[in-house]
Structure formats: structure tokens, C-alpha cells
Structure 1
């Protein structure tokens, strides 16, 4: 392979590159090249120079192909293009390893989680995660004299929440936590629609609710239909609502929401499915929604230790957000302790297995409705309590929630789209 020759030739021309590279002998295809690279690494570790003369004194010199082969390698070498050669060798190794993993998985009947974990490990091997401080400072130098607009994230459709968070940000994980039936799924559907109408690609992983229910909620909240009517549309909708129906279908279709409703999905599976969607919709940036945290399957069982499982999942969610450079919004259940307090508004400790979640999340939002606890209340206010905001203030954001249609609106009672 020419890239391997160019890489080795560059080492011969610039010995210091051997200490800088992450390429290992097993990354190379040619057995002769693997042996030569290992020899170069060993000699460099002993403080010796690497050149054709010094290599020619070794007992196994002919195993490398002799003088003619080393001269051939050196002719391909170019220290200035070394980074390109590294990238090429690594990419070829990745493809080769993926095929090896798939073959081994088929022969040994691996479970899907093990396959996905191994494949993700290959995908994450990269060379482009380095930035020198000089490079980082170039864009900052003129900043005090240059007017620059603040980069907004994915807008939420709730003005005060946008002001506090600047929207959902790339590479950040948001946890939305509440007790069952508080409105978590409707809030996620609201955020997903907002993202879709802004030109993003909302990907919903619904680990509990089937796709048909998600679709019904999307239509009901968009059209302002009572969800009870969705059970029998022919009899449930009025003539006026039926006239609106085609427009509602079109409006929801414009969101380009993608729904995966398989139970017990792992983060590795979600990554693979997200990658497929990204390739399918190259003009749209993804935003990932997961319903909900403790239904995600961990890659390891950890003897049934829920804390360790959630810790792994939490870190993997953060890794997924960084890998796709997109927001990840994940729902979480609160434990029963909140029910036993006089003050029902949630706290961090109410999140199930909260330690790792609290640490890894960039934004934590609790949901609270007075009407949930006081059935005599006529309030339709849904509080979004921003309890953690890594890059901004915390506080309570009121919104209006129609529990019959699932629609979320701003406190001004204006439809957000």
C-alpha cells in the first residue's frame, strides 16, 4: 500500500515523527512494513537514529526488503504530508477492522450490543482532536474589536427558556425529569417539532411509547385536537377539523421527525441509527431525543447494579452528543421521594441514580404542574424548572400546557409556530 510506504519513508527522512505518531505496527497491512515499523520504534526507544545505514547493520535487515526496498520507501517519504499519510493508513485500518469484527461476530454469534460496542470503538479512533493554543487564539485575537452575534442553539418555542439557555446547544446533554404523567413526552414532542420547523433533523428514540402514539400526539398537539378524538378520527373530528386535516398532516410532515420505537435500545444502537439518518439527510443537522433514561440498555450488566449502568449510559450520551456535535435531550423519571414532601417541586436528588446524571448533564430541567397534585386546581401552567445550566442562569420558566391536546404554548398564550 502506497500510504504505508509514504508513512515509513517519512520516518526515515524525519525520525522525530516516530515519537509523534499514533500509528501502531498492527495498523499496517503489509507484514514486512509491520516488522519494519516495530524495529524503528524499538531503535528510537533506545535513542538510536533511524536511517538506511543503521538499519542495514541489523541481522534481520533482509526481512525488510534490503537496500532497494528502503530506498523505495524513502522516495515516497514527505514529512510535510505526514498527517495525510497517517489519516489514510488509519482509515484503511478502520475498514479492515470493521470487516474482521463482522466476520468474527457471525462466526461466534455475538449479541448486537457487543458488535455495536466494538464497531463504535473503531469509529472513535481519530487523529483530529488536537488544537494548539496558538491555533485556538487566532480567531480570538480580533474579538474585542469585532461585533459578533452570539450563536444560538435550537430554539425551544418558549421565549424565556430561550433567553436562559440560548436554545439547545451542540455537544450538550439536556435531562428533562418529572414524575409519570407530568407531561414529559408532550414537552419532548413540542421541542422536536420546533427543531424540525427550524430545519434540524429531530430523531426520537421512544423506548416505551410506540410510534403510532407518538404520531397521534404530534398531530393532536399541532392541530389542537383533543387526543380522545384521535381514537376514531372519522367520528371524532368535526367537519371543520376534517377540512384542516390535510394542512395538519403537511405541517407535521415538514418537521422531518424520525422515530425509532424499539424497546431496550442501547446508546451504541442509537449512534448507529443516528449515523444512518445523518447520511440520509445530509442537509439537516440532527437533534436527538430519548424517552427515557432508565429504559436505555447498558452495554454491560454490572451484576444488575443500576447505579453503574446509569453511569455508563450517562457518559455514553455525552459521548454521542460530542461525536455528532448535536444536542441530546433525554427524559428521566423522578423517584417517589418527591411525593412524600410537602414541597413537591423536584430537586436533583429526586432523579433516579442521580449522581452521574447530575455530573454529566449540561442542562437539567424539571417539570412541575400544580394541577398534577391538586385535582381541584384550574391552573394550566407547566413550570420548566432549570435546575442546572452549565452556561447560564437557573430559574423557573412558566409555560401553558393543554393536557387534552398535549400542546405547549408560551405564557402569552401564543402558539409557538
Structure 2
């Protein structure tokens, strides 16, 4: 606790005291420090600049002191002098001031000139005591909720609510960390450039496992919100799973080689799957690594030697730093709480959300409010990315407008509720597979000529995929050609000889 100089006993009206019958009684507070700070601010308004960014009116234990502080801030913001004379009209009718004998209380606060020397210390203590009071309030609410068995008991929900409340208290103390000197920011930029140089000149963030994507984006960067969108059956979840696995595997390999965690090009991953179960995702990863058909795995149509290969892959991947949360119907607030917990417990460096439209906002509403709800969700994901300093890869569905065009390649306008998704994201990528759309155009086999032409093109587009980088704050947009191995649900870099003309 900050050591404060003793206050001289003020003349005039008695110092404002909180009624002991009020809820505030017995909680941590220092009314003398509040009075001293208010007096110092009214004597020298320049001190407002030192405390305004951190100290708010509701941080004062005494409600009257909070109103006086708010008035000081209001007058200072208008460029007016905040002193007992200019503030008198604002408090002449205030019941609490009248109770103390009138606006003379304002003048009494300024009689201790020694408070000017410790104004910042007073502000720090007022703020710290406010945090302690809020912590006590949260604790009381937790005890009250846990002891109430009259309603439906949902302990897990109560724990998550308590975690969110506690995090808000902790979050309030992080204002100073938001400001960095240019020197600090420049050092971070140099570290990023050094990582890119050591990786061969193209990877400054976490790896995607695909050289083409790494070269286009420089990897996945901290604090970025990356949207991966596409129509159903394009392979969004497969690509996201491939990226999550590659990032987690690279981290495990680097740590095994003795590379420091912060210098690794990989990271532990949290995968929030709102559509598929954890075992379905695990099946995809195992199918990819053991090079077995995921369909055959689900159906049990595998030979003994293939099962042995599967078991070996499972053993090798058992220590993979990849955590899957398949809780359905998560709210954005609950997802943020769980992500913070995983960051604290396992040091996750990448978050994947499959998919954005399956999240819900804090307030339920009809279709009219869906755009606002998506706005809340995208802002929440971007805030989470910055707050935890991790990239957030969120999958998104596209509207049916794609199906009505001759060229099926997605555009930014095809994003559902696209305004806020496009605005809040740092990178927007689309998955496109011409093979899928061409398969829907198969003519009647009896029409030999048409069917022959269709088969000829089918062979050309077989396995071809594209990731269209339609928006990128840090670099150029463009198309990355890939190969999609359907039976293994796996994306891979396309050989140079297979690179055709790019549509962009």
C-alpha cells in the first residue's frame, strides 16, 4: 500500500463520511485520501492530466466525492477553471452538500495545500481500494449464487460467470500497458523481421504448414483476426484443421530441438469446434497423418496393417499441444473466458473458431438483430486477438449469391453480414475448388461428345484448390494455388509445374 503523508486537520465543515449503515461501510476505503485529491485537483487543474486516464468517478468510495471529481473533469474538458467558485452552482442543490452545510465544503477541501505533493499517490491508492471493493463484491456474488439452490443449479456456468467477472476486475488494471514507447514497438518489429529472416525470408508469424500461404501472408501474426470463408463442401474446416495441426506440430518439434518457445514458428492451439465433435476432428487429423481415408476410418473398413499405421500415428500425436473445445452454442463471452483460461493454463498461441455464425452474442434477438449480433461477435474476436496477443482464425459461411454467378470464385461482398466481418478482420481468405462445381455439371453419359469434354476438364481440375487472399492489411492480395487430397481431407502445396494462370 502507498505510504501517504498525514493530512492537516481542515477547518470548517467536518470531512464527508460514509453512513455506516450503507453497503459501502466496512469495505476498503480512504475518504481522507479522496478529499485530499479533490482539493489538490481544484488548487491545480493541471494535475487532472495525471489521473484522468486511470481514475474514474465510480472509483471513489463516497458518492459525493465521485460527483465532485466528475464535475472537475467536466469543467477541465471544456477548458474552464475547476475551483470552489466555478463549481458552486453545480452543487448548491446537491442534498449531500446541503447536509454538510452547503458549498463551503468545496472550499474546505482546498485548505490542505500539502496534498499537492502527493496527489498521484492519493489517486493510486483510491484506484487500488476501488479494485479491492470490486473484488469483494464479486466474491460476495459468487458465494450468493453458489448458495442459492432455489433455481436450476448450473455450477459450470457459475464458474464461467465468476471467471468473466474476475477478469474484468483484472482487466481494469491494465491501462498503463496499452501505451508503448516507439523504442519498444520498434524492438518488436525488429524481432519479427529477424524471425522472418531466419525462417528463409517468408515466415514472420506462426506457420500455416503451407509454403504458398506462408509466402503470401508471412504466416499467422499475433493480434490478427483472420477470416477463412467459403461455401459448404469447399474444405474450410479441413484447411483450418491442417493449419492448426501444422502450427501445433511445429511448436512440439521446435521445443524438442531446444528452441525457446517464444522463438518457435509454431504455437499451442485452441480449436473451438461449434459444428463438429472433437472425435470427428481427431479422425481428420489421424487420417491425414496416417494417410488413410477418413471415410474408411469412420466405417471401420481398414486392414490390419492400416490399423497399425493408425495406432502409430495416434501415439506420435498424443502429446500434440492442440486442445479441442466442442461445446455447442457458445456465446462470444463464454468463448473469450475459455480462451483466457487456456492461455493461462497452456500458453496457447493460436485460436481457431469453426465457425463464426454458430456463435451467439450476449443478447438474444430475432433476425432483425442478427447483423448487430455478428458485429458484437467479430469485435469480440478481434478484441480477444489483441488482448491475448494471438492470431484468431475464424471460419465463416458465404451467402448463396456465389451460386447465382457464372464465376463461382467468392468475393468480399459474399460474406454473410459482410460489413462488420470485413471491417474488423485483418485478413480475409476464401477457399475455392473448381472441381466441386464442375462435378455438378456432369452431362448425360449417353451424350458422348459432351460427356467426353466434361471428363477432359474434370481431369484437369481434379484436386485443384485455391485460397484467395481478398484482404490483407499487411501485404498484397492474390491467389495461392493448392492441392486438395479429398480422401485424406488434406491440403498441400501445388507443384510449380501445376501452377496455372492466376485469376488475380
TM-score above 0.5, yes or no: yes
Q: 1: CA distance between counterparts of 2:195 and 2:220? A: 13
Q: Is 1:127 the counterpart of 2:194 in the alignment?
A: no
Of 128, 148, 162, 1:88 maps to 128
Which is worse superposed, 5-14 or 364-373?
5-14
* Contact kept? 2:35, 2:65, Cα under 8 Å: no
Cα displacement string for residues 281-334 of structure 1 (whole angstroms, at most 9, x for unaligned residues)? 1xx333111111111112123433222221221111111111111111111111
CA distance 1:381–1:89, shift in 2 (3 Å)? farther
- Unmatched 5+ stretches in structure 2: 4-28, 76-80, 85-99, 197-203, 252-266, 440-454, 497-504
Q: 1: CA distance between counterparts of 2:143 and 2:366? A: 29
Give the structure 2 partner of residue 295 of structure 1.
Answer: 358
Answer 1 or 2: higher relative contact order, Cα 8 Å, separation at least 6. 1
CA distance 1:104–1:386, shift in 2 (3 Å)? farther
* Contact kept? 1:222, 1:252, Cα under 8 Å: no
Give the structure 2 partner of residue 53 of structure 1.
Answer: none
* Contact kept? 1:174, 1:361, Cα under 8 Å: yes
CA distance 1:171–1:250, shift in 2 (3 Å)? same
Give the structure 2 partner of residue 225 of structure 1.
Answer: 292
Q: 2: CA distance between counterparts of 1:194 and 1:86? A: 48
Give the Å deviation of 1:400: 1.5
Give the structure 2 partner of residue 249 of structure 1.
Answer: 314
Q: Is 1:314 the counterpart of 2:360 in the alignment?
A: no
- Unmatched 5+ stretches in structure 1: 50-57
Which of structures 1 and 2 has the bigger CA Rg? 2
Q: 1: CA distance between counterparts of 2:467 and 2:175? A: 40
* Contact kept? 2:131, 2:169, Cα under 8 Å: no
Give the structure 1 partner of residue 424 of structure 2.
Answer: 360
* Contact kept? 1:13, 1:79, Cα under 8 Å: no
Of 39, 44, 48, 2:83 maps to 48
Q: 2: CA distance between counterparts of 1:123 and 1:257? A: 27
Please give the secondary structure, in 1, of the residue aligned with 2:317. Answer: helix
Cα displacement string for residues 145-177 of structure 1 (whole angstroms, at most 9, x for unaligned residues)? x99526611111111211111111111111111
Give the structure 2 partner of residue 404 of structure 1.
Answer: 487
TM-score by length of 1: 0.79
* Contact kept? 2:55, 2:127, Cα under 8 Å: no
1:20-59 residue pairs with structure 2 within 5 A? Answer: 20-21=51-52, 22-24=54-56, 26-28=58-60, 36=65, 39=68, 47-48=82-83, 59=101
CA distance 1:230–1:255, shift in 2 (3 Å)? same
CA distance 1:24–1:360, shift in 2 (3 Å)? closer
1:60-139 residue pairs with structure 2 within 5 A? Answer: 78=118, 85=125, 88-89=128-129, 91-99=131-139, 102=142, 115=161, 119=165, 122=169, 124-125=171-172, 126-128=174-176, 130-131=178-179, 135-136=181-182
CA distance 1:101–1:17, shift in 2 (3 Å)? farther
CA distance 1:225–1:139, shift in 2 (3 Å)? closer
RMSD: 4.1
Instruction: Report how many aligned residue pairs link the two structures.
Output: 391
Q: Is 1:262 the counterpart of 2:342 in the alignment?
A: no
TM-score by length of 2: 0.66
Cα displacement string for residues 259-299 of structure 1 (whole angstroms, at most 9, x for unaligned residues)? 11111111111111111112211xx3331111111111121
